[in-house]
Structures are given as structure tokens and as C-alpha cells.
Amino acid sequence: MSNRRNFIKTTALGTLGISTIVGCKEIAESETTTAVTDKTQKKPLIISTWNHGLPANEETWKQIKNGKPTLDAIESGMNIPEGDPNIRSVGYGGYPDREGKVTLDACIMDHNSDCGSVSFLEGIKHPISVAKRVLQNTPHVMLSGEGAFQFALEEGFKEENLLTPESEKDWKKWLEASKYKPVINIENHDTISMLVLDEAGNISGGCTTSGAAWKMHGRVGDSPIIGAGLFLDNEVGAAAATGLGEAVIRTAGSAMVVELMRQGKSPDEACKEIVERIYDKHKNHKDMEYLQVGFIAINKNGEYGGYSLRSGFNYAVYDEDKGNRMEDAQFKMTWDN
Ligand code: SD4
């Protein structure tokens, strides 16, 4: 690549006329690359979906500042909403499936593109921690269901009942009508996805959820799927999703956001383009009635952004300049249209 750039530069400077015209597109490409890489990196940078991102960011920031490894910092941050029984979309206290079982999905990925993931995991409060062990202690990327559970026990995690009395009460109420219609972002605390640019300039991320409330037993969403709920390339940036996992899987959402950033789009622009694509593919789909998807993204320069299909999506950002705060994502439409 650098040889090619040198060649282009020499050609462009050394000769005018035909060779300049021939080199024109190439020069434009190389200028784009320079414009991106010349910006000052804002490090560290942490961005997480929804309000529960604030306490998670706080803990992750603290650990990074104390010199902890970034994956450990992400794990500790995400353990907070996972352990909070009042958050009904993540970990302990998460809404169960239609059979009353709380089944959890999570994944984690580091700057070497190593990743670990668990899906359809029952009885373990901190799936992000099990996902990290999959990354570190197995030759695999993803463990599911009973196998993930057995692995967690072998790693020393303890089995717990994750269905709180409140969630059980809501589930019994739901059973009266038994209508599956995800109500995403009404309560403003869905899946937590977190993306981090650490002090070394490396990118990592994680995602953890109890998935869609009242889902079929065995249903797995986008959140534990590398490329759908989370994706990163340390040379480019990272993206993560929240919302209706089926739509995100159908479009390889997070991977596509990263690829658009590789082509020069800003995090905001890349998230928007994929949300538009999801809309185009779903506008006549049965899921459209309740479809919500949102993405967050960061790039290697410390720029960040987010975009959602419908209004109501926000995310927590923590950087040196402005501290830890919530920001509202731009969106395509409100819930009425
Ligand atoms: C899923 N994407 O399981 C998750 C749920 C979610 O905002 O993020 N809701 O489909």
C-alpha cells in the first residue's frame, strides 16, 4: 500500500498531463486516508448503549485509568447492569422467554480480533464473564445452551435463579394474552453494548443481553453473534447494535457499519447508512410494526456516533473532554410513522 502511495505521489509530482489524470482517483483515495489518520486521537473513549451505559462506562473508565487490561475493564463495567435486578433486559432480572426461562446472550472481542461468545445460557448471572473465558480458555469462539452452562460451571461460576419475582409477575401477566410484540426502548434500558478505544489506541468491545422478552425458548438474537450485534477491526473501528436482533442478523449490521467506516464514512454516517438499509429491507416486512434498531460506532481516531431507525435511542459516552454523559442518537422516524 505504501509503495503504491509513493508511486502515486512520484507520478503525480513528477509528471503532469496524462499521468496526473491517471493517478487522480488514487490521489483522492490517499488524501482521504491521510485526512482520517492525521486527526488527534481522543483516548480513552468509551461508548455504551442506553442509560445503563453510564454506570458501566464509569467502572470501565476507572479500571482503564488504573491500568487494568481493557477486556477486564469492559467485563467489570458490563457486570454492573448484568447484576442489577431492576434492568429487565440484561442478566439477572432480565425478562424471561415465553416459558418463563431467563436465557442470556453475550460476546466480547479484542483488538487482535479474538472473540468469545455465549448464547442461550441459563442460570449464570454474568454471561459477559463467561464469554471472556470462552475467548481466553477455549479454542472456540462461541458456546451455546447446555454446553455454555457446563463450561461456566467448570470455570467456577455458580448457578443462580435469574428470574426475579418482579419479572415472574410480568411474565404471568404477559401469558394472559401471550402476544409476541417486542416493545423496544419503551423502558429505555435494552441490551448493553460497549465499545472502547483504550489508551494504547486499541479497540475492544462487548455486548450482553437477555434478548427479546417473551421470545421462543431457544431463540438467539444478534447480541452474541460477532458481525451482527458486535464487530470491530482494530485498523478501522467498532460498531454494536441494539434493537430487534432478527433485523440486525439479516443485514450483518455491525460488520457492515465497520466496513463503511473502512471506506471513509464517519461513525454517524456509517450507522445511518446501515439503518437506512435495514429500513429498505424491512419496510414491507411483518416485523416493521415494532421494528427498532440502533447502532453505535467509534473509529480509530476517537470519533463516535450513533443512529437509530426510530426515536428514543440514546447512548452513554465517556471521554476526557466532557466526562460521562448521555447523548441522543439521530433517527429516521418517530414511532408514529
Ligand atoms: C436481541 N438485540 O436479542 C437484542 C435485544 C436488544 O434492544 O438489543 N434490544 O434481539
Q: How far is the CA of 209 from the centre of ligand 1 (A)?
A: 7
Residues 61 and 74 in one domain: yes
131, 234: one domain: yes
Q: What percent of the chain has pLDDT over 90?
A: 77
Look at residue 278 in the predicted model and tell me its pLDDT.
98
pTM for the model stands at: 0.87
Domain interval for residue 290: 43-333
Whichever domain contains 128, its CATH number is 3.60.20.30
The binding site comprises 219-222, 242-245
Enumerate the active-site residues.
191
54-91 b/e with 16+ CB inside 10 Å = b?
bbbbbbbbebbeeeeebbebbbbbbbbbbebeebbbbb
Residue nearest to ligand 1 atom 10, measured at CA? 245
Same-domain pairing of 25 and 82: no
Alpha carbon distances (Å) from 127 to 66, 130, 151, 243, 276: 24, 5, 12, 19, 31
174 and 238 inside one domain: yes
Of 301, 313, 241, 334, the closest CA to residue 43 belongs to 301
Whether residue 258 is found in the same domain as residue 314: yes
Asked whether residue 283 falls in the same domain as residue 158, the answer is yes
Distance of CA 257 from the midpoint of ligand 1 (Å): 17
State yes or no: pLDDT of 139 exceeds 50: yes
Q: Are 34 and 47 in a shared domain?
A: no
* Overall number of domains in the chain: 2
Residue 290 has pLDDT above 50, yes or no: yes
Instruction: Give Cβ neighbours of residue 256 (< 8 Å, ≥ 6 apart).
Output: 274, 277
34, amino acid identity: T
Which residues have CB under 6 Å of ligand 1? 184, 190-191, 209, 211-212, 221-223, 242-245
* SS3 (DSSP) at 168: helix
Same domain? 30 vs 56: no
Q: How far is the CA of 185 from the centre of ligand 1 (A)?
A: 10
Considering the domain architecture, whether residues 117 and 188 belong to the same structural domain is answered as yes
**Do 135 and 15 belong to one domain?**
no
Q: What is the mean pLDDT of the chain?
A: 87
The helix (run of H) or strand (run of E) holding residue 325 is strand 323-328
Tell whether 156 and 8 lie within a shared domain: no
Average pLDDT over every residue of 248-269: 98
- Ligand 1 nearest-atom number relative to CA 248: 2
